[in-house]
Amino acid sequence: MKILLNRSHGALNLSRAASLELGLPWDDAETSYLSSNGALTNAALGIDSPDPTACRYDPRVIAAVEKIGLEESAGRYVELLIVEIPDDIEWEIWDYDGKESIHEKHRFWPAERDFLVIRRNEET
């Protein structure tokens, strides 16, 4: 599976060329950093999924970015990277101030339920 990530600090967005390649709306008059131009979301792509990251591995997005190239597809203040992982891996995107990486899902301690047990024991 291929997944699109942002490797620089800031929000993931696509360039004008990549947005138009995907059929996403683009307003040349909209110049604000907070504009909706280039926003990559499930809703923008018409993806109905409970997984908010589904747009990151949508075959249309991957194909468009690979066709145009990583640098030409990157929006403002973005450094794109396509990561390929095995299909049978459960994964999640970790984000540090916009700089993203893929991590295999795993368990960790203390889990939230452990905190609840500790709090209950402290009350007695």
The domain ranges of the chain are: 2-123
What's the CA gap between 59 and 4, in Å, rounded? 10
What's the CA gap between 74 and 65, in Å, rounded? 9
Return the pLDDT at 33. Answer: 64
What's the CA gap between 58 and 38, in Å, rounded? 16
State the pTM of this model: 0.81
- Tell me which residue of 71, 88, 53, 58 sits closest to 7, measured CA to CA: 71
Question: How do 99-104 and 91-96 pair as beta strands?
Answer: antiparallel
DSSP H helical ranges for 1-124: 16-21, 42-45, 59-68, 70-73, 112-123
pLDDT in tens, the chain (124 residues): 999 999 998 888 999 999 999 999 898 888 666 678 888 999 999 999 999 999 999 999 999 999 999 999 999 889 999 999 999 999 999 888 889 999 888 876 655 555 454 444 445 4
